[in-house]
Chain A
Amino acid sequence: MPSAELAGQQTPSVTHAFACKDLIGIEPLSVADITAILDTAVSFRRVSERPIKKVPALRGKTVVCLFFEPSTRTRTSFEIAGKRLSADVQSISAATSSVVKGETLFDTARNIEAMHPDLLVLRHSSAGAAKLLAKHCSAAVINAGDGAHEHPTQALLDALTIRDHKQTFEGLRVAIVGDIAHSRVARSNILCLSKLGVQVVLGAPPTLLPAGIEDLQDGLEVHHRLEPAIEGADVVMMLRIQVERGGSMNIPSRAEYARLYGLNATRLALAKPDAIVMHPGPMNRGVEITSEIADGPRSVILEQVANGLAVRMAALYLLCGGNPAHVDTAA
Chain B
Amino acid sequence: MSTLLLEGGRLVDPVNDRDEVVDLLIVDGRVAEIGGALTAPEGTESVDVSGKLVTPGFIDMHVHLREPGREDKETVATGTRAAAAGGFTGIACMPNTNPVNDHRAVTQLVIERARQEGVVPVYPIGAVSAGQKGEALAEIGDLVDAGCVAVSDDGYPVATSQLMRKALEYTGIFGIPVIDHCEDCSMTVGASMHEGSVATALGVRGWPSASEEIVVARDLMLAELTAGKLHLAHMSTAGSMRLIRDAKARGLRVTCEVMPHHFALTHEACREYDTNTKMNPPLRSEDDRQALLEAIADGTVDVIATDHAPHHADEKALEFDRAPFGIVGLETAVPLVCTHLLSEHIGVRRMVELLAVNPARVLGLDRSDNGAGGFPRGLGDLAVGRRANVTVIDLEAHRTVDASKFESLSRNTPFDGVELTGWPTLTVVDGEIVWRHSPEPTSR
Chain A residues close to B by CB (< 8 Å): 27, 104-106, 124, 126-129, 131-132, 146-150, 184, 187, 210-213, 215-216
**In the complex, what distance in Å separates the CA atom of A215 from the CA atom of B201?**
9
Closest to A188 in B: B203
Chain B interface size, as a band, is 20 to 34
Given the interface pairs A105-B318, A212-B197, the reply to whether A132 lies near B203 with Cβ below 8 Å is no
A129 touches B203 (CB 8 A): no
Contacts of A216 in B (CB 8 A): 197, 200-201
A105 touches B319 (CB 8 A): yes
Closest to B270 in A: A128
B272 is an interface residue with CB less than 8 A from chain A: yes
**In the complex, what distance in Å separates the CA atom of A132 from the CA atom of B316?**
12
Interface of chain B residues 284 through 332 with chain A (CB within 8 A): 314, 317-322
B196 touches A150 (CB 8 A): no
Given the interface pairs A211-B197, A212-B196, the reply to whether A147 lies near B203 with Cβ below 8 Å is yes
Chain B residues close to A by CB (< 8 Å): 195-206, 208, 272-273, 314, 317-322
Given the interface pairs A104-B317, A148-B205, A211-B206, the reply to whether A127 lies near B273 with Cβ below 8 Å is yes
Q: Least Cβ distance of A193 to chain B in Å?
A: 16
Q: Least Cβ distance of B320 to chain A in Å?
A: 5
**In the complex, what distance in Å separates the CA atom of A124 from the CA atom of B322?**
12
Please classify the interface of chain B as helix (H, G, I), strand (E, B), loop, or mixed, using the class held by over half of its residues: loop
B204 touches A128 (CB 8 A): yes
Closest to B319 in A: A126
The 4 residue pairs across chains A and B that have the minimum distance between CB atoms: A149-B203, A212-B197, A128-B273, A126-B319
A127 touches B317 (CB 8 A): no
**In the complex, what distance in Å separates the CA atom of A96 from the CA atom of B236?**
43
Contacts of B202 in A (CB 8 A): 127-128, 149
Q: Least Cβ distance of B304 to chain A in Å?
A: 29
Closest to A136 in B: B317
**In the complex, what distance in Å separates the CA atom of A147 from the CA atom of B191?**
13
Contacts of A127 in B (CB 8 A): 202-204, 273, 319-321
Contacts of A106 in B (CB 8 A): 317-318
Contacts of A210 in B (CB 8 A): 199-200
Closest to B273 in A: A128
A132 touches B319 (CB 8 A): yes
A148 touches B196 (CB 8 A): no
Q: Least Cβ distance of A266 to chain B in Å?
A: 32
**In the complex, what distance in Å separates the CA atom of A150 from the CA atom of B273?**
14
**In the complex, what distance in Å separates the CA atom of A27 from the CA atom of B272?**
13
**In the complex, what distance in Å separates the CA atom of A207 from the CA atom of B251?**
39
Contacts of B273 in A (CB 8 A): 127-128, 131-132
Can you list 28 A-B pairs, Cβ within 8 angstroms, ordered by A?
A: A27-B201, A105-B319, A106-B317, A126-B322, A127-B202, A127-B204, A127-B319, A127-B320, A127-B321, A128-B203, A128-B319, A132-B273, A147-B321, A148-B203, A148-B204, A149-B204, A184-B203, A210-B200, A211-B195, A211-B196, A211-B199, A211-B200, A212-B198, A212-B199, A212-B200, A216-B197, A216-B200, A216-B201
B321 touches A215 (CB 8 A): no
Contacts of B198 in A (CB 8 A): 212
**In the complex, what distance in Å separates the CA atom of A212 from the CA atom of B202?**
12
**In the complex, what distance in Å separates the CA atom of A216 from the CA atom of B196?**
10
A213 touches B318 (CB 8 A): no
Given the interface pairs A127-B202, A128-B202, A210-B199, the reply to whether A104 lies near B321 with Cβ below 8 Å is no
